């Protein structure tokens, strides 16, 4: 019997990888493990440090070679950082970038190199470096377009810097053998970048969530009840935001809209009961996660005496099914200007849990198209805060109705048919081999 031909070798550059909770790290873990039947995979990443701190276990060496579920990982020690200190974050990111360049020499020959668009610009450039050093084919996975994202949220207005960022990221695209984006509107952005001429080969593959790990479960499930009890959500109508509480979601403005539905004392000392659903449940807004905007939201709700806004820490992946099922309605939001730049992956988790979506998303974005095509929620435009309030009010008035329940079921049904982990990973394997 003839021996099987050896697997092709694939090197993945990932700023964060499990056990870090960054969404891209989780996606790359499932992608890498799901492709082990086709590729021999090595991941170059940082030591666990998404929170900014590093355990003593990872402070004695420059590199740490580990294996996680069959995937070889070469971890780079980087400086600790504070999420509120730009300089420390820059040092951390540069530590990864230059460390990854050096680590490339330590992993042997490779047939393919894959990098993602994180950190911005540098994620693409490190992939170009890997292609050059390893004489390999390069696949650039763009999860977020930069500097377009930087411009959209007003993070920088320095034209010299922004033009340089765009030049370098277009270079990464041009040097790639294939660009994989995660949304229809992101494919349009590629065409716009190159004005329709000599556009790098580009395909779209949706992100995903494991539909076997997150699925609808009854409201009286003991784990869901335990989660609700721990965070004061018992017998409440829960409008939940779950994910990164960061710059790109307009959350500082949205929390001000929630003030219309506040329970608690006003600044003049008047106590407001807050709205209730038809079946008598109080309305609660729950934020699950962490990020650079979290402290501002907490400060605002304390200043204005919100009693029905609750902040809940990141949940371990194994508990995500319970936290998502504890929400009655889920936010899926992006700030204005994010169309064609980024796709909020939280939409997949909400659909997997069979919950209706309150979308604040621009028309034509991947997430809004999914929501509207499948009728799994209601959407309005970012910045239209009157309409946002109207949608909140609609969900409160229609809480528990068959129409709202069907929205959640619609999302789950579509996801199982078209957006499973297995479907997307099979597309990645085919795209890489044909690059």
What confidence tier does 156 reach under pLDDT thresholds 50, 70, 90? confident
Query: Could you say which DSSP state residue 278 is in?
Result: T
pLDDT of res. 1:
45
Lowest mean pLDDT among 19-33, 39-53, 145-159, 288-302: 145-159
Give yes or no for residue 5 having a pLDDT over 70. no
Compute the average pLDDT of residues 88-107: 95
What confidence tier does 3 reach under pLDDT thresholds 50, 70, 90? low
Give yes or no for residue 201 having a pLDDT over 60. yes
Please tell me if the domain spanning 8-208+420-433 has the same topology as the one spanning 222-418: yes
Give yes or no for residue 228 having a pLDDT over 50. yes
* Better pLDDT: 87 or 429: 429
Give yes or no for residue 34 having a pLDDT over 80. yes
pLDDT of res. 13:
98
Residues 6+ apart with CB under 8 A from 244: 23, 289, 290, 291
Task: Determine the Cα–Cα distance for residues 115 and 12; give it in Å rounded to an integer.
Answer: 6
Question: Is cis: bond before 27, omega within 30 of 0?
Answer: no
Give yes or no for residue 381 having a pLDDT over 60. yes
Compute the average pLDDT of residues 141-167: 89
Range 222-418 classified under CATH 3.40.50.2000: yes
| Surface-to-core class of residue 16, CB atoms within 10 Å of its CB (0-12 exposed, 13-18 middle, 19+ buried) | buried
> Which overall architecture, per CATH, does domain 8-208+420-433 show?
3-Layer(aba) Sandwich (3.40)
Q: What's the chain's average pLDDT?
A: 93
Give yes or no for residue 316 having a pLDDT over 90. no
Domain definitions of the chain by residue range: 8-208+420-433, 222-418
Lowest mean pLDDT among 31-40, 66-75, 254-263, 395-404: 254-263
Q: Which ranges of 106-175 does DSSP label H, i.e. alpha helix?
A: 122-134, 148-152, 159-175
């Amino acid at each position: 019997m003839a021996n099987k031909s050896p697997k092709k070798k694939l090197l993945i550059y990932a700023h964060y990888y499990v056990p870090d909770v960054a969404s891209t790290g989780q996606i790359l873990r499932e992608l890498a493990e799901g492709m082990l039947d086709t590729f021999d995979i090595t991941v170059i990443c940082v030591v666990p440090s998404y929170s900014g701190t590093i355990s003593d276990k990872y402070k004695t060496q420059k590199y740490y070679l580990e294996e996680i579920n069959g995937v070889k990982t070469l971890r780079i020690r980087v400086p600790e950082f504070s999420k509120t200190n730009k300089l420390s974050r820059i040092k951390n990111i540069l530590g990864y970038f230059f460390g990854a360049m050096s680590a490339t020499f330590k992993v042997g020959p490779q047939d393919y190199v894959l990098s993602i668009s994180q950190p911005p610009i540098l994620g693409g450039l490190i992939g170009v470096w890997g292609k050059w050093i390893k004489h390999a084919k390069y696949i650039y996975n763009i999860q977020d377009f930069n500097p377009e994202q930087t411009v959209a949220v007003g993070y920088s207005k320095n034209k010299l810097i922004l033009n340089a960022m765009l030049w370098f990221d277009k270079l990464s695209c041009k040097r790639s053998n294939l660009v994989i984006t995660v949304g229809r509107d992101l494919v349009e952005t590629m065409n716009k970048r190159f004005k329709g001429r000599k556009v790098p080969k580009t395909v779209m593959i949706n992100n995903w969530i494991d539909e076997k790990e997150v699925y609808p479960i009854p409201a009286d499930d003991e784990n869901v009840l335990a989660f609700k009890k721990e965070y004061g959500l018992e017998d409440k109508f829960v409008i939940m935001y779950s994910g990164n509480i960061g710059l790109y979601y307009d959350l500082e403005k949205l929390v001000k809209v929630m003030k219309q539905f506040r329970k608690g004392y006003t600044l003049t000392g008047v106590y407001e009961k807050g709205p209730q659903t038809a079946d008598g449940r109080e309305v609660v807004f729950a934020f699950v996660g962490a990020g650079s905007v979290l402290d501002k939201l907490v400060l605002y709700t304390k200043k204005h005496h919100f009693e029905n806004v609750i902040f809940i820490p990141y949940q371990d992946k194994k508990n995500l099914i319970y936290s998502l099922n504890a929400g009655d309605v889920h936010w899926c939001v992006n700030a204005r200007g994010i169309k064609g730049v980024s796709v909020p992956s939280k939409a997949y988790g909400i659909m997997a849990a069979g919950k209706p979506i309150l979308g604040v998303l621009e028309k034509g974005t991947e997430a809004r198209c999914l929501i509207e095509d499948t009728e799994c929620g209601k959407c309005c435009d970012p910045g239209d805060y009157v309409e946002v309030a109207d949608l909140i009010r609609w969900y409160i008035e229609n809480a528990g109705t068959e129409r709202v329940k069907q929205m959640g079921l619609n999302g789950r049904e579509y996801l199982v048919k078209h957006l499973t982990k297995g479907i997307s990973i099979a597309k990645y394997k085919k795209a890489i081999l044909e690059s």
